[in-house]
Amino acid sequence: MSILLDADARVLIVGITGKFGTFSVKDLQQSHTRVVAGVAPGRGGQTIEGVPVFSSVAAAMKETHANAALVYVPAVVALDAVLETIEAGCPLIAYPGDGLPVLDAMEMRAAALDHGAHLVGPNSPGLISPGKAKLGFMPSFCYAPGPIGVISRSGSLSYEACFRLSSAGLGQTSVIGIGGDPVRGVNAAEAIGLFHDDPETRAIVYLGEIGGSEEYALAEYAKRPDAKPSAALLVGRTAPAGKKMGHAAAMIGSYAESWVAKVEALDRAGVVIARDLDGLASAGASALARAMKPAV
Amino acid sequence: MHYAFMLITEAQGKALLRAAAVTTPSSHELRSLDEVRGCRVDFPVAVKAQVAAGGRGKAGGIRKANSSSELASAFDAIMAMRFAGEAPSSVLVESWLDIERELYLAVAIDSRVGGFNVLYSPRGGVNIEDGPPPLSYPVGLVRNFRAHAFRALLEPVESDTKVRERVISIARRLLEIAQANECTTVEINPLVVAKGGSLIAADAKIVLDEAAAFRKAATASAIAASRDKAERDIRSCEEANLMLVWLDGEIGLISGGAGMTMAAMDAIDGAGAQPACFLDVSGNPTPAGFGLAFDLLDRAPNVKGILVSMFGGGLHTDRVAKTLVELLAKRTSSKPVTLRLNGTRSDLATTILREAGRQNHATLEAAVLDIVRCVAGARS
């Protein structure tokens, strides 16, 4: 098992004729992911890398029975494209784009919840279940199959962090990028719930940062008696308050958003803390070791 | 595009409040001493610096004036001040309020709510952060605001029924302002209960969502204005699609991606030094982008050494290596440079660097130790 995305994934790419869309077809195919359809309004009937193109998501879904969508369109039209995909009945959608207005992110999230769909993003590399399928643009060589569920707010950090985990023999069930924006589809609490329910996931590794409050969802989870063991790396220990560090949500506006406050809350809840990237693999390994030990 | 803050001034914020029929004190925005002399007001008045930065009151940017001459000297004093480096664009002169009580009311985007949160405290004012956390009503989408739900939360906290009902109706208006103008925060602190019971917005802190600039002309012009005021370095980075934040340390850091750049900052701290900047070149990893990054760091006097750390995901590190070799050959600065290119095609990158007499460090940690040692060695 894995979360949301499995070997039976049939992927549809919205915006397949764009630069990113076309690159993604080949990239997904190389990661053994079935790309069954593309969507580009007015381009129905064409093919891209052997993949049939449709003019609407509904037409593509009807013909190909796609069950996951990767939406590569600019922020200006992203809300319309994501709503079309959700309303066509696609149960899993990744929207990796950044620069999306917060109001549009709120509408996307609400529509996904209304339809029982899962939205990954915005401002995220997407979702990968190593060895099974990929719904995003993360570099495949960083990942390996295994028992750890990874949640990340940052794309770049998740690549290197997973590369280090994989090199240390700590493979992943799934790696989900929840994104660097303040409003997102699947959030930390929901991603944790998905990994909790996945029988193959033995431990959770959380890659967080300063700003916002997502990390407290992990602290709350870790206090549960039935929680799976978890480890966390938070970056931005040296970032000053009041300055945005790249991500829209990576800014310390209050004490609760600071590195110290979050790390203290996680530590108190029993999460294994990696102080920096160098300590991540050993923190992940010790969380996994706890999972392997029978409960006393 | 990245901006540190898209906070608009109090005067701009209050114009949005008035347009939604939220009461504000009668006021004049003044830009020159001539305007101050021509201004007819009933004293006393509050004289308030107009800046897009917080902490203005504690920094002395709000004064009371009892006469025309006090008003003129308060104007001069405030216009000469700087708030987090920012010069006031004007002062706002407002009638002095008879305050019965100060409340706190705000609507703000909250990541765990997935939308707007309404925040209320019956004790507002400058020390709001020192008191208990405000009451929060998670609304999400603006259309999901329900007066009865907010009322049920307010009842145990706010015993004055008149104030309670007025707060509920203002909260709805703040949400509508946030929706119509694409704001991430609309905060009134204090919301003053005046003698007689009316509620008056004595301050306004409004943050615009910069991502909405493509469809909000007012946001686009606020961004343009803030870019004009920004330091030249920050502006040139924004134009080149690099993200720069200056910090106080000595290690110039060029990295890729927000999360990895912060991870590298933390690693520098772990090795006993401090980063001089957050500089993310992933938006433009080209000769032009790296060229600008080196140019800025070579010119900055506090930067004693430079670390380039890139992890290639989609990025081909051999291309970065070629770019760096060409740049470093032309560079005149003698500040030490340490390189670490890992990930996609890093074997090729290592070869390219070796042929140019440069070492490619295998890990971030090794590269950080190297640059920290180089800088410490140069100092002693």
What confidence tier does B281 reach under pLDDT thresholds 50, 70, 90? very high
Mean predicted lDDT score pLDDT of chain A: 94
- Distance (Å, rounded) from C-alpha A9 to C-alpha A6? 6
pLDDT at A46 over 80: yes
Percent share of chain B, pLDDT over 90: 81
| CA dihedral sign, ordered B131, B133, B135, B141 | positive
Query: Are B20 and B40 members of one domain?
Result: no
Domain limit, last residue, from A120, A155, A184: A120
Pair type for strands B337-343 and B305-312:
parallel
**Domain tally, chain B:** 3
The domain of A90 spans: 10-120
Predicted confidence at residue B1, as pLDDT, reads: 37
Which residue in the set A109, A158, A277 is minimally distant from B114, CB to CB? A109
Query: Are B84 and B145 members of one domain?
Result: no
Examine residue A152 and state whether it is found in any structural domain, yes or no.
yes
Active-site residue, selected from the candidate residues A65, A115, A118, A247: A247
Domain limit, last residue, from A89, A120, A151: A120
- With beta carbons under 8 A apart, name residues in chain A contacting B344: 139, 141
User: Over the range A253-280, which residues count as b (16 or more CB within 10 Å of their CB) and which as e?
Assistant: beeebbbebbbebbeebebbebebbbeb
CB neighbourhood size of B38 (10 A): 10
pLDDT tens-digit series, residues B110-135 = 988 999 999 999 999 888 877 888 99
Structure tokens at A156: 């770049």
- With beta carbons under 8 A apart, name residues in chain B contacting A184: 111, 114
Query: Are A50 and A76 members of one domain?
Result: yes
What confidence tier does A249 reach under pLDDT thresholds 50, 70, 90? confident
Nearest chain B alpha carbon to A24? B314
Nearest chain B alpha carbon to A214? B112
pLDDT at A20 over 90: no
Predicted confidence at residue B131, as pLDDT, reads: 81
pLDDT tens-digit series, residues B92-116 = 999 999 999 999 999 999 988 999 9
pLDDT at A256 over 90: no
Examine residue A3 and state whether it is found in any structural domain, yes or no.
no
What confidence tier does B224 reach under pLDDT thresholds 50, 70, 90? confident
Contact criterion met (CB < 8 Å) for B258 and A245: yes
Contact criterion met (CB < 8 Å) for B112 and A237: no
Query: Are A185 and A268 members of one domain?
Result: yes
Domain limit, last residue, from B189, B206, B230: B230
- With beta carbons under 8 A apart, name residues in chain A contacting B238: none
- With beta carbons under 8 A apart, name residues in chain A contacting B280: 246
CATH number at residue B116: 3.30.470.20
Average pLDDT, stretch B298-308? 96
Residue bearing the bigger pLDDT, A251 or B249:
B249
Average pLDDT, stretch A119-148? 96
Query: Are B46 and B147 members of one domain?
Result: no
Predicted confidence at residue B357, as pLDDT, reads: 96
Query: Are B200 and B256 members of one domain?
Result: no
> How far lies B104's CA from each of B101, B156, B375, in Å?
10, 16, 49
pLDDT tens-digit series, residues B142-169 = 999 999 999 999 999 999 999 999 999 9
Predicted confidence at residue B17, as pLDDT, reads: 98
Contact criterion met (CB < 8 Å) for A139 and B314: yes
Predicted confidence at residue B2, as pLDDT, reads: 41
Query: Are B171 and B86 members of one domain?
Result: no
Average pLDDT, stretch B15-26? 96
Contact criterion met (CB < 8 Å) for B364 and A277: yes
What confidence tier does B4 reach under pLDDT thresholds 50, 70, 90? very low
Predicted confidence at residue B193, as pLDDT, reads: 97
CATH number at residue B368: 3.40.50.261
Query: Are B153 and B250 members of one domain?
Result: no
Predicted confidence at residue B6, as pLDDT, reads: 81
At A80, which amino acid appears? D
What confidence tier does A295 reach under pLDDT thresholds 50, 70, 90? low
Examine residue A126 and state whether it is found in any structural domain, yes or no.
no
Query: Are A95 and A163 members of one domain?
Result: no
The domain of B112 spans: 1-24+98-230
CATH number at residue A109: 3.40.50.720
Query: Are A146 and A238 members of one domain?
Result: yes
Distance from CA of A213 to the nearest CA of B (A): 7
User: Of B262, B307, B347, which to mutate for an interface test with A (greatest number of A Cβ within 10 Å)?
Assistant: B262
Contact criterion met (CB < 8 Å) for A243 and B245: yes
Query: Are B111 and B211 members of one domain?
Result: yes
Which residue in the set A101, A236, A254 is minimally distant from B209, CB to CB? A101
pLDDT at A245 over 70: yes
Predicted confidence at residue B5, as pLDDT, reads: 55
Per the listing, tokens 């130790």 go with: B369
- Using a 10 angstrom Cβ sphere, with 0-12 exposed, 13-18 middle and 19 or more buried, the burial of residue A49 is middle
Rg, Å, chain B Cα set = 26
Distance from CA of B363 to the nearest CA of A (A): 10
Query: Are B48 and B173 members of one domain?
Result: no
Pair type for strands B115-121 and B99-110:
antiparallel
What confidence tier does B3 reach under pLDDT thresholds 50, 70, 90? very low
Structure tokens at A33: 């992911």
- With beta carbons under 8 A apart, name residues in chain A contacting B263: 157, 160, 233, 235, 276-277
User: Over the range B135-174, which residues count as b (16 or more CB within 10 Å of their CB) and which as e?
Assistant: bebebbbbeebeeeebbeebeeebeeeebbebbbebbbbb
Query: Are B14 and B82 members of one domain?
Result: no
Distance from CA of B375 to the nearest CA of A (A): 19
**Domain tally, chain A:** 2
| CA dihedral sign, ordered B286, A94, A158, A243 | positive
Predicted confidence at residue B223, as pLDDT, reads: 86
Query: Are A225 and A255 members of one domain?
Result: yes
Query: Are A149 and A276 members of one domain?
Result: yes
Per the listing, tokens 């643009």 go with: A137
Domain limit, last residue, from B181, B212, B230: B230
- Distance (Å, rounded) from C-alpha B365 to C-alpha B194? 59
Predicted confidence at residue B380, as pLDDT, reads: 62
Contact criterion met (CB < 8 Å) for B111 and A187: yes
Query: Are B276 and B128 members of one domain?
Result: no
Where on the phi/psi map is residue A211: left (φ > 0), alpha (ψ -120 to 50), or beta? left
pLDDT at B85 over 80: no
Predicted confidence at residue B232, as pLDDT, reads: 85
Query: Are B363 and B304 members of one domain?
Result: yes
> How far lies A73's CA from each of A97, A119, A177, in Å?
8, 15, 18
Query: Are B221 and B132 members of one domain?
Result: yes
> Annotated catalytic, A247?
yes
Query: Are A41 and A94 members of one domain?
Result: yes
Domain limit, last residue, from B96, B117, B142: B96
pLDDT tens-digit series, residues B166-191 = 999 999 999 999 999 999 999 999 99
CATH number at residue A212: 3.40.50.261
